[in-house]
């Protein structure tokens, strides 16, 4: 009888070990379905902008969450001073349990580009001061579109380097970036290597030369393992067609929401946040992988035809001539890095 009990115990112990081994061998799963809204409603607040009293800073928080949460600081495109232009993305971030800050800057500022940067940054600081217990400044991201995409490196430097934010995770997510200002060559080269970055480009963008993004990617001190360039393509297989233009990150009134928003904007940003803030390796593979299926998949049309996949690289090359764009990289008047533009 004693021998029988020992045998049963050994079998039970062996089964537990086998189960543990199976669990250890299970592939990791994403913390949520990337690109899809989460469970939280958005709690939206407006606070005064210190340098731009005509427009408030808008803060998006997950309703019912009172503990500090990772925060994304968003810089809009030129003229896009209303958060409604990016409302789909900003409410999406809040739905996942993150905070998002939309800080407007004036379209016309007689004091120039750096004054707009200062207005943008002052709005971010005002939001942090207004909600000190709701934002986890050890986990931060800086996202932006067009003019705001070009401002992402400087805003990230002010937050990560100058203010000490992002000690537990920091990311950059510039989309169709305009010219990069307020960053010396040394500041770009010495940018914290622990940060992560996805630079998003749109194949039918005719505003901002892709060489601007290539220069940023090749120059910033983030190692290749922590950064990629993601390019989206138009697809007219179905109706309405998917238009990979400069305005992909925006919503109404510029463009209706479509699959490019879910798979081309929200999915890579979600994955980058999950990796950077939570250490989830699925997020790493989807955001920073080497062009794997999960990373490049852009959905399917109703008849089952795959949408043209995204292109991912850590060795970007501009494929269209600078004459394609309204703002070519070699622009002595506006681009302080014109001498560094790649061919």
Give residue 31's pLDDT.
Answer: 86
Give residue 254's pLDDT.
Answer: 74
Give residue 125's pLDDT.
Answer: 99
Give residue 85's pLDDT.
Answer: 96
Using CA atoms, how far residue 57 sits from 48, 78, 191, 310, in Å, is 6, 16, 27, 33
Whether the model clears a pTM of 0.85, i.e. scores above it, the answer is yes
Give residue 19's pLDDT.
Answer: 36
Spell out the domains of the chain, with CATH numbers in brackets: 40-340 (3.40.50.1820)
CA–CA separation, 35 and 24 (whole Å): 27
CA–CA separation, 299 and 158 (whole Å): 37
- How is residue 321 written in tokens? 């001539």
Q: Residue 319 burial (CB < 10 Å; 0-12/13-18/19+)?
A: exposed
Other beta carbons within 10 Å of 65:
15
Residue spans of the chain under pLDDT 50 = 1-25
CA atoms lying within 13 Å on the CB side of residue 212: 32
Give residue 27's pLDDT.
Answer: 56
């Amino acid at each position: 009888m004693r021998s029988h009990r020992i045998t049963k115990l050994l079998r039970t112990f062996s089964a537990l070990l086998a189960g543990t081994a199976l669990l250890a061998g299970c592939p990791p799963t994403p913390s949520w379905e990337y690109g899809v809204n989460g469970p939280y409603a958005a709690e939206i607040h407006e606070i005064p902008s210190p340098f731009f009293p005509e427009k408030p800073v808008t803060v998006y928080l997950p309703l019912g969450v009172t503990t500090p949460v990772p925060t994304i600081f968003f810089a809009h495109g030129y003229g896009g001073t209303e958060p409604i232009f990016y409302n789909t993305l900003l409410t999406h971030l809040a739905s996942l349990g993150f905070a998002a800050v939309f800080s407007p800057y004036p379209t016309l500022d007689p004091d120039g580009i750096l004054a707009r940067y200062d207005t943008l940054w002052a709005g971010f600081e005002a939001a942090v001061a207004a909600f000190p217990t709701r934002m986890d400044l050890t986990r931060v991201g800086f996202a932006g579109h067009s003019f705001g995409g070009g401002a992402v490196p400087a805003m990230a430097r002010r937050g990560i380097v100058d203010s000490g934010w992002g000690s537990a995770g920091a990311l950059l997510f510039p989309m169709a970036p305009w010219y990069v200002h307020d960053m010396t060559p040394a500041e770009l080269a010495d940018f914290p290597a622990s940060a992560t970055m996805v630079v998003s480009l749109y194949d039918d963008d005719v505003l901002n030369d892709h060489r601007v993004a290539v220069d940023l990617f090749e120059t910033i001190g983030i190692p290749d393992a922590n950064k990629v360039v993601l390019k989206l393509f138009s697809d007219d297989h179905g109706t309405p067609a998917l238009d990979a233009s400069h305005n992909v990150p925006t919503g109404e009134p510029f463009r209706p929401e479509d699959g490019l928003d879910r798979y081309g904007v929200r999915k890579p940003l979600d994955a980058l946040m999950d990796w950077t803030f939570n250490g989830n390796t699925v997020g790493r593979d989807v955001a920073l992988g080497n062009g794997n299926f999960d990373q490049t998949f852009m959905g399917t049309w109703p008849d089952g035809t795959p949408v043209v996949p995204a292109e991912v690289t850590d060795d970007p090359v501009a494929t269209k001539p600078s004459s394609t764009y309204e703002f070519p990289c070699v622009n002595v008047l506006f681009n302080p890095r014109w001498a560094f533009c790649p061919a």
